Amino acid sequence: MTKSRRILVTGGAGYIGSHLVHDLIEAGHQVVVLDNLSLGRKENLPPQAQLIVGDIHNESDLERAFSQPVEVVFHFAAWKAAGESMTNPTKYAQNNICGSLQLIDACVKHQVRYFVFSSSAAVYGDPQYLPVDEKHPTQPVNYYGYTKLAIEENLRWYSQLKGLYYAALRYFNATGYDIKGRVKGREKNPANLSPVVMETLAGERPIMQVFGNDYPTPDGTGVRDYIHVNDLASAHILAMEYLLQNNKNLTVNLGTGRGHSVLEVIRAAEEVTGKKVNYQIVDRRPGDPPELVASCDLAYELLGWKAQYSDLKTIFKSMMPVYLVE
């Protein structure tokens, strides 16, 4: 039996956070969720999780979240309009960088020693080589990636100055829904490929766009490393255990090491659902690299973690109950 711990999950009612909360509760932990419900949903949470509707920017909400001792913080909360990161950088920085610093400060004040942060492959920018490992230069090409990197760097300083140990988990393309069906609420305003494919299949979009088919990839469409949200959740638990056991920081990629093109993704969805995706090829989306694939050796070496549910068929099977309810 693992020890039951008191854990705070910011953004725990959101897409990735809620999957982790279910796993933490099933592992016997006591979970407090701090979520402003702007993107999260109450119904995503198991009844055992304690929900505090509040914000990481608000001191009194943070005080409520830390009213009882917390051992580990998982930080998912973010202002997610990633597309707006370039057009509205000030708001983006205020929400994401400043909010995270307020949370980190509160952690230090309340003697939390372990912090797990949702970072992103976006910290690397355009890949200079593939697969991208953790030694790859960090040169973000959008403000979203920059904010993630800025928070990682702040965590490194706080770690040196204040003895907070952190894990920065750099997700590649998060996808899928709970294979156990525990999370039923859809992600709000999704813009990523797999939900767009599912919305098109569900008839909610008349047609979807494939951004470019003239990339230097096998079929000309963009290649990404899709990682199932349940695999992400299990990596978070292993990262927490790593911090608790080793008192050492951790920065790792979370992906599969395999890339799939947009057309491959569409075909897999068609095969799993037995329906045709209506799509059109349009121009490339500015800023998209042709290919982004993770090297995941370090996560395997340090955490013993490897993706289990991230093949395209399992991904789309897990999305069907959420998108194709009869």
Residues found near ligand UPG in the complex (CB under 6 A): 82, 120-122, 172-173, 192-193, 196, 208-211, 222, 224, 262, 285, 288, 292
End-to-end alpha-carbon separation of the chain, Å? 41
Given the complex with ligand UPG, which of 196 and 319 has the nearer CB atom? 196
> How far, in whole angstroms, is CA 239 from its chain's centroid?
14
CA-to-CA separations, 320 to 21, 195, 270, 313, 325, in angstroms, rounded: 22, 10, 11, 11, 7
Q: CA–CA separation, 99 vs 107, rounded Å?
A: 12
Specify the residue, 185 or 190, whose C-beta has the smaller distance to ligand UPG.
190
Q: What are the distances in angstroms from CA 184 to CA 13, 76, 157, 181, 188?
A: 11, 19, 38, 7, 12
DSSP class of residue 186?
A: P
Nearer to ligand UPG, 211 or 300 (CB): 211
Nearer residue to ligand UPG within complex by CB, 52 or 292: 292
Whole-angstrom distance, CA of residue 305 vs CA of residue 288: 28
Name the residue nearer to ligand UPG (CB basis): 105 or 264. Answer: 264
Whether the ω angle into residue 47 lies within 30 degrees of 0, i.e. cis, is no
Rg (CA), the chain: 19
Q: Which residue is nearest to ligand UPG (CB)?
A: 222
Choosing from 92, 144, 171, 177, the catalytic residue is: 144
Nearer to ligand UPG, 288 or 311 (CB): 288
> Which residues have a Cβ under 8 Å from the Cβ of 273 and sit 6 or more positions away?
201, 316, 320, 324
Helices 143-162, 99-109: axis angle to 10 degrees equals 20
Rounded Cα distance, 134 and 126, in Å: 14
Active site residue 92: no
The nearest distance, CB 295 to ligand UPG, in angstroms, is 14
Does residue 66 contact residue 110 with C-beta atoms inside 8 Å? Answer: yes
Active centre residues (catalytic): 144
